[in-house]
Amino acid sequence: CLWVRNLRHKRRLPGPFPWPVVGNAMQLGQMPHITFFNMAKKYGNVYQIRLGCNDIVVLNGDTAIHQALIQHSTEFAGRPNFISFQAVSGGKSISFGNYSTQWKLHRRIAQSTLRAFSSANSQTKKAFEQHIVGEALDLVQVFLRLSADGRYFNPSHELTVAAANVICALCFGKRYGHDDIEFKTLLSRVEKFGETVGAGSLVDVMPWLQSFPNPVRSIYRNFKELNKEYFAFIKDNVIQHRETYNPEVTRDMSDAIIRVIDKADNATGLTKAHTEGTVADLIGAGLDTVSTALHWMLLLLVKYPHIQTKLQEQIDKVVGRDRLPSTEDKSSLAYLDAFIYETMRFTTFVPFTIPHSTTSDVTIDGVHIPRDTVVFINQWSVNHDPQKWKDPHVFNPSRFLNENGILDKDLTSSVMIFSMGKRRCIGDQIAKAEIFLYSAILLHQCSFENSPTQDLTMDCSYGLTLRPLSFTISAKLRGKILNGA
Ligand code: HEM
C-alpha cells in the first residue's frame, strides 16, 4: 500500500490514523470537502487518508493543486479504475476514462466539436446564443405560469430542463417540452448520477458493501440502472442520426462526431461506441452542472434581495427595457459577472474534481506519491482559503470589483470550479455563456421572491455537485414580455 511504499522512500505522508477495514470512512461526514479542508490545517495541504483498502492522497489549496495539475500535469492526469467509472457512457467515457494516447484524441475531438458549435465563428456563436435565449424566454413563461395567483413553486425541474435543452439542441438538434413526462423521468434519474462518482463515495473503495443489503448497495444498483437507461436514450438518438446521415450536411454535434469517428479511417482504434460515449459525456456533463449553477443563483437572488435589485438596476441602465440582454452586454455588466463568480466561489457547487490518479511516481511538496494513487482535489479549499479571500464565508459579489466598478480579472481567474491542467473541463466557455445569458434574461424579465414562510438556508446534498435542498420561489413580471426577435 501507499504507506509501505512511502516508508521505502523514507517519508510517510501525513494524515489521520486509518482504522482497520473502513480506514477513515467514518470521518468524512456529510460534507467531505469541509472535513478535508479542516484536516489540511492539521496535516498540511498534501496528506493521505484511507478509504476501505485504498490509500488516497488529498490535495488542498491553490499552491499544491497548481503544482500537481499544472507543473506535473501528465503525472496527475489519470483516473482511478473504479468499477463505477466503467459503467459511465457505455465504458467509453472521456470524463471517466484513463489517460492514454487514444483518450487524448477522444478528448480533442469532443473539444473541437463543442467549439465548432458554440464559438468557432460569429454565425455559430449567434446560433448557440439563440438556443439559450429561446430556453430562457420559455423559462420566464413557465415561471410566471407557476407563480399565478401568488403561488410559490420549486424551480428545480424547470431549471434542469432548460439546461438539458441547450445541450440537447447542440447534440441532437432538438429540445423537449417542460411537460414531457418521459424526459422529466429521465432527468430526475440522471440527477442521482453524482451521488456515486463524487470524491469520498464508498461504492468503489469498499466493493464488499455490494454483497449484503445496505444503503451503499442500493445507491450503486440505482447508479448502474440510471446509466443504462440514460445511455439507451443517447444511443437511440445517435442511431437515428446514423440512419439519416448525409455527409453533405452536418446538422448538429452528433453528425459532426459521426463524421470524425464513425466515418473516419482512424488507426487509433476509436469506434462507433466512442461516438456514443462522446455524446453521452457531453450531454451528461452539461446537464447537472449548469442546472445546479442556476439553482444556486436563484436561491441567492431571493436570499439577498438587495443584490437582486442592484443587478436589475445595472441591467436596466445598460440594456434598457426595450430589448433583451445579450452577450455583447457582458463587458458593461460587471456586477452580474461578479455575482456569477461569487456564486461559483461561495458555493463551489463542484467541490472536488472527478477523482484523479497518478500515471507515474511523482513528488510534490517534497512528498513522494507512487503511480496509480487515487487523488482527491479539493476545489472548495481553494475558494475558501482565508489567505486569499477576505471573509471567505460571506457572500459578497463586490469583492470582484475594483473602486471603479471594473471586474478584477486576476481575482476571477483565482476561482477554481472548472479544475485545471490536462483534465480541465472542456465545457467551461459554453457553461459560462449559458449562466450569463440565463441570469441576465431572467433578471431583466422577472423579479424573484422568497416565500414568507420559508427560512432559506445554504443546506445542500453532497455528490459530484452540491445541490441546494428543495426551495420555493415566486416570479413577477417586470414590465412587458419581450420575445427576443
Ligand atoms: C470535467 C466543472 C459544465 C464537459 C469537469 C470537471 C469539473 C467540471 C470540475 C472535472 C475536471 C477534473 O477532473 O479535473 C464543470 C462546471 C460546469 C461544467 C462547474 C458548469 C458550470 C460542462 C459542460 C460540458 C462539460 C457544459 C459540456 C457540454 C466536461 C467534460 C469533462 C468535464 C467532457 C471531462 C474532462 C476530462 O476528464 O478530461 N467539468 N463543468 N462541462 N466537463 Fe465540465
Instruction: Give the Å distances, CA to CA, from 430 to 86, 277, 433.
Output: 27, 20, 5
* Residue burial 365-379, b: 16+ Cβ < 10 Å; e: rest: bebbbbeebbbbbbb
What pLDDT shows up at residue 484? 64
| Residue 137 burial (CB count, 10 A) | 18
Say yes or no to pLDDT of 135 above 90: yes
* Confidence band of 6 (pLDDT split at 50, 70, 90): low
Sign of CA dihedral 157, 445, 432, 450: negative
pTM: 0.94
Tell me what pLDDT residue 437 has: 98
Q: Which atom of ligand 1 is nearest to the CA of 344?
A: 19
Structure confidence at residue 221 (pLDDT): 84
Q: Is 292 in the pocket of ligand 1 (CB under 6 A)?
A: no
| Cα 210 to ligand 1 centre (Å) | 29
Spatial distance between the Cα atoms of 448 and 299, rounded to a whole number of angstroms: 9
Q: How far is CA 18 from the centre of its chain?
A: 31
* Ligand 1 center from residue 285 Cα (angstroms): 6
What is the structure's pLDDT at 52? Answer: 87
Ligand 1 pocket test: which of 114, 289, 340, 423 has the largest number of ligand atoms within 8 Å of its C-beta?
289
| CA 25 to ligand 1 center in whole angstroms | 26
Q: Is the CB of 87 under 6 A from ligand 1?
A: no
Q: Check if 425 has its Cβ closer than 6 Å to any atom of ligand 1.
A: yes
Helix, strand, or coil (residue 132): helix
pLDDT digits (tens, 9 = 90+) for 453-484: 999 999 999 989 999 999 999 999 997 777 76
pLDDT class of 10 with cuts at 50, 70, 90: very low
**Which among 176, 192, 288 is positioned nearest to 233, based on CA atoms?**
176
Query: Positive or negative, the Cα torsion across 83, 88, 90, 94?
Result: negative
pLDDT of 339 over the 90 cut: yes
Q: Which residues are annotated as a binding site?
A: 425
Give the rounded distance of the alpha carbon of 265 from its chain centre: 33
Q: How far apart are CA 315 and CA 439, in angstroms?
A: 11
- Mean pLDDT throughout 113-133? 93
In angstroms, the CA 237 to CA 230 distance is: 11
**Please, which residues bridge with residue 401 across strands?**
407
CA distance 57 to 356: 10
Which residue in the block uniquely carries the three cell numbers 467509472?
85
